[in-house]
A and B are shown apart, each in its own frame.
Chain A
């Protein structure tokens, strides 16, 4: 009895499994039918009445500032309701974090579920997907939306062009001069020093801060400077600013006097590396710099107050940070923002101007249906230009996260509502303008002064961010690794700078640097930057 029982069970299970197998076949058929219907249907109706048609638009939103917060169901999300109503669409939005975004997008594309509206964080990525045939040219479509065209400065539209075609619309507006030089003014006064203005003075102040007991506690526990390096080994978190005093930046490419200059092999880079090496070998840097790669670690050093000079965010005198300095360091040092040091050739550069790299793109699939594509571009126009919608998109729910005070929007204090409950509002905040004072809502007047100071020393930045690697340049990734490693070795003194010429030679012979130069030259000529 029992025997037969189990045989039947197994039989049923095998049938079930084969049913599933068969099911996938029929499923596929259904789907194909569906797609055929949807692509054909709108064409017919387009002739009749275009306005009434309600479109379902899928949006792969990587632009939001809180990607770990799930998208709310439509009945709980007043902002999406507002958008859907205004545009007569059904907005199917999905978000993803940095580490998951591309895997997810790739499987969506490979399984023929390309989102209609996609966000790319930088130009290289946008071009990668454009070259794979995922996204569409937008030049024709943009004729429908003059307001969108007019909303952005031509300098922000220009990077949207690739091979003469517009492949995206500007994404999030960057803010320049975020990070600037900070110095502990209490320590300066204690040691009777002046704020440094040249690399040499900077090194001397760093030395004094390290060895002359600036906090007067009798212990050798202070450092002059701290920086860091990225996972790939690019010197950063302020280390890059040391290079900029010499007019160069690691892995950077520029056009100077009508010629392409690869900073990594420029003689000025050698000079900069010599200086960085003198800083590192003088032991004036907090030794933890080698394991630092995120801003939070830098902030912790600032709160602790054992480092006298660093490059950090301009908002660090806002109350929340001052509170942490008090809690962690035990006192609030007189952190003062200073202008960048002037290099041997008079370069006084803090950072590079923001470049409009992030962008929205429309999938080729969606673009096949002109009416739908038009609605998508109109959606972008609505999001970026509608004056009434802006405060809702940028600030959130009216009466909760912001209030209207005599025509001026004002954020409510974060303590007046449960902040976590409203974190989803950041999914729409990507439309915020870079200079929107209401959005940033600073408490300390010094913050604005600091930013104004930082903004004075930004360098033009119209060459490097537009360049993309050539997919046929098979050495691109390995070459970059080699340059990063060698830079690091020169900087830390593991490799003597007398080997500089060998390094440049190896780059040219073994790593075919000319392939890169040719590729970049071609791109820049194409864009009209090189003659």
Chain B
């Protein structure tokens, strides 16, 4: 390595470290505020290390009778939803990656069109209602079964796979299903990890579909329950009502909701990271 290159590398490390600090600092700030009493936060303005650590914000949040159910719902929607998402995205993306497939362009355009044009909230609600999915956790999964964005990303990845592989497999008499399952799938772990992460995080973070489709509070996902806590009891009443001033939640509770919603999904990433180095495997097969 030349001296200039070494300098560049030192630069890269320094830049990355400072980016990391900028990203993590507000998060750590939120963490320490969540362990501080509301009064202390107001008194000190900026709290980096609490004088008195209190768990009261967490008691307040986790004491909500809805929260344990909400975690179950979110876990189910995220796990089952992501599994179904990946399955259907994969079987749709796989044929579309075959440049020789007649009609491929039309189908792709048919799908891409939906990325821009949408009928709006009301027709979607009507459809979900007609399908009998209202007030069911499936209403949080089925309407988003395939994301056109993720589909195209996956298709793009499949196109990069060397065609020689499945040609040789076909000569061996393997069917499409076998090629997909035993050859393409193992090679696609980086993209499955990526798309799976996109889907999982999407499921975990979503709340608006639950606002519309779920009436039974016991089927609320975590994000909706905590969003309600976060925004406080912002009652609809706003004219001359003394009650309205009473129902705002202090910042320590807001920050605790950030922790409680973020930490579970945060731990997914490190588990997926190892798949991003699987490119090595691809190279060895190709070689």
Interface residues of A (CB under 8 A from B): 2-3, 5-7, 20, 23-24, 27-28, 62-71, 94, 96-101, 103-104, 106-107, 110-111, 119, 121-122, 172, 174-176, 178, 294-296, 300, 303-304, 313, 315, 324, 327-329, 354-355, 357-358, 420, 426, 429, 440, 465
Contact = CB atoms under 8 A, between A and B. Distances in A.
Given A110-B126, A295-B244, 11 more contacts: A68-B229, A70-B217, A97-B231, A104-B212, A111-B125, A119-B236, A121-B236, A172-B237, A178-B242, A303-B39, A357-B239
A121 B39 contact: no
B234 A175 contact: no
B32 to A, nearest CB: 18
A63 B233 CA distance: 12
Nearest to A106: B122
Contact of B233 (A6, A68, A119, A329): A68
Interface in B8-61: 39, 42-43, 60
A97 B234 contact: yes
Given A67-B235, A98-B234, A440 B240 contact: no
B256 to A, nearest CB: 15
A184 B143 CA distance: 58
A65 B232 CA distance: 11
B63 interface: yes
Interface in B223-280: 228-229, 231-248, 250
B175 interface: yes
B215 interface: yes
9 contacts: A5-B177, A6-B177, A24-B127, A62-B236, A70-B218, A119-B236, A121-B237, A175-B241, A295-B245
A376 to B, nearest CB: 20
Contacts of B106: none
B115 interface: no
A304 B212 contact: no
Nearest to B215: A94
A420 B211 contact: no
Interface stretch (B129-137, B185-193, B195-203): B129-137
B228 A97 contact: yes
Interface in B97-145: 121-122, 125-127, 129-132
Interface string B155-198: 00000000000000000000111100000000000000000000
Given A23-B131, A106-B122, A304 B239 contact: no
Secondary structure type dominating chain B contacts = helix
B248 A295 contact: yes
B248 A107 contact: no
A358 B233 contact: no
B175 A107 contact: no
Contacts of B231: 68, 97, 99
A69 B63 CA distance: 13
Interface string B206-226: 000001100101100000000
Nearest to B37: A327
A100 B227 CA distance: 11
B75 interface: no
A68 B228 CA distance: 6
Nearest to A327: B39
Contact of A65 (B235, B238, B248): B235
Contacts of B153: none
A424 to B, nearest CB: 10
Given A111-B125, A313-B242, A328-B42, A101 B236 contact: yes
Most chain A beta-carbon contacts within 10 A, residue among B132, B240, B247, B248: B240
A172 B240 CA distance: 10
B148 interface: no
Given A23-B131, A65-B233, A176-B240, A420 B63 contact: yes
A509 B89 CA distance: 56
B79 interface: no
The 9 closest A-B pairs by CB, nearest first: A174-B240, A70-B217, A3-B175, A68-B228, A24-B130, A354-B240, A327-B39, A107-B125, A62-B236
B66 interface: yes
Contact of A63 (B43, B126, B237): B237
B129 to A, nearest CB: 5
Contacts of B237: 62-63, 65, 121, 172, 358
B242 to A, nearest CB: 5
A441 to B, nearest CB: 12
B43 A304 contact: yes
A103 B241 contact: no
B125 A28 contact: no
B284 to A, nearest CB: 26
A30 to B, nearest CB: 10
Nearest to A3: B175
Nearest to A21: B131
Q: Which of B126, B231, B234, B239 counts the most chain A CB atoms within 10 A?
A: B239
A246 B211 CA distance: 45
A304 B132 contact: no
A24 B127 CA distance: 8
B239 A174 contact: yes
Contacts of B242: 175, 178, 313, 315, 440
Contacts of A100: 211
Contacts of B177: 2-3, 5-7
A178 B241 CA distance: 8
B131 A66 contact: no
A110 B121 CA distance: 10
Given A97-B233, A104-B211, A420-B63, A178 B175 contact: no
